[in-house]
Structure 1
């Protein structure tokens, strides 16, 4: 029998976890570790959960200071981040679950990609919430490196926690993003076709400049109202996606960009990601309004090829994607039908 423990203290058998049926684990997204709010009603809800639903092995004995090094972010504030993300997911879709690693090695409190310093202690906090009936939890699976069946544990707000959300006197607009979230991302090489892991790095004048420019752009996006006026609900179905259960959502959370570099190399990629408009087709993009004004998307044909011509001091006078039969005959190549 497995035991859930916090430090050296045993809490409850693992079998006590609330193993709710999450019928579609693909209807999920990774946990967002940068949710934050100082709203007094948010603090009151977190205080109630901390006081009434978590065991003393987590909260500490009343009046006693926890021994050992103190975390950069208190365990209660780490709980606040988790509750806020469960709240945001519930508002988005009551069936939407959050993917969360239950491996202590995945929680690096000092990582630049973890600005609120969430730690591995969030694992027993989550398990305790499940035991208390506030979180539905479906355990992850691991079949080996790169296996298709691998997935992280899924969690979502239970009916009990949803009732608490309904009674709470705060709204979605009261939940913000933590200002210190990293937007310049360096990733490792892909493994088994999966996105490379985030890599720590030391800042340089170049990374600082990129971060400053992107912050200014994100500030501009945050001050702009970007919408598709013809939609009744701020949702666009993913018609061409492998799984269409998660629509593209038009929300300020999805109007914040980051730059991603690959293969631990600052010369590789560096593309911008994160905008909801990047996930829809050109027909939907043509309907975008910014601050109640219609927009026009300018399409630069063969942009990168034209840039190469310009670097060589030449002007591109033809369509680079039009491979004529004369060119094919000259190269001795043809299309295979």
Structure 2
């Protein structure tokens, strides 16, 4: 690979290089075979599960490197500074240090190729002005966690650097209450349980995440089936759909979507992990409800205020598309 600047693109860039001999720290060894990437950048990519060796995810930069073929999934980069945009926000809480909002589906958390404008960052820059924390970088000021663009729900952003550092520490320690509501095809079995797996990049499609037998990072989700829809006529049969509450104990990319799919109950409307087709009646309900995304809503976010020490907890109901779909499913 050359030292030329990396080209921006709408799709992730896949880099590959072979390390002939190991023994040194992995992050240091990788700078030798990927000279266009700084050591700090490589450490960040390792933490994001974007690096693999011979198809197995590696995440510790301090571990000893081993010989093999290394692959890096380099996410698209936005270089332009985002501009403030007067986008209405549903603000649940705000003080001098942080702001909590109910993010709508269809709004990206921060600028990225294909979503350069209209993001939460653009809205926050207009709403908060110069008070927004700059620790997240030029393109991601104030952002300490993310929801997928098409996932709705509660998000917190930092307005001060001390809040940014404190919130980041809470998320790193998983000392955050996070519960999501999902509408699924069928229902996971048993009706209540814990899903604990390794999650990392799929070996068959490096743009997707997957449950892995080895490599990846530990991911823990507790779930409970709150309601089932379209009960079968025969005893022991599977329902057509379900409402499932998922509580995160870790925060891996696409964790809930991957975990529910691994239980044979993918989220309705999920175009990436929703393999298989719902029942005809469920498909009709999705169309009638106008659901054009995965039916996933971040309903609860609870944490201790990193500056004041005040316990905070926020809860919002799923937006109209999910609410209408659930109403239609109840009639099955």
**Short-chain TM bin:** under 0.3
Higher gyration radius (CA): 1
Question: Counting helix residues as a fraction of each chain, which structure ranks higher?
Answer: 1
Query: How high is the TM-score relative to the length of structure 2?
Result: 0.25
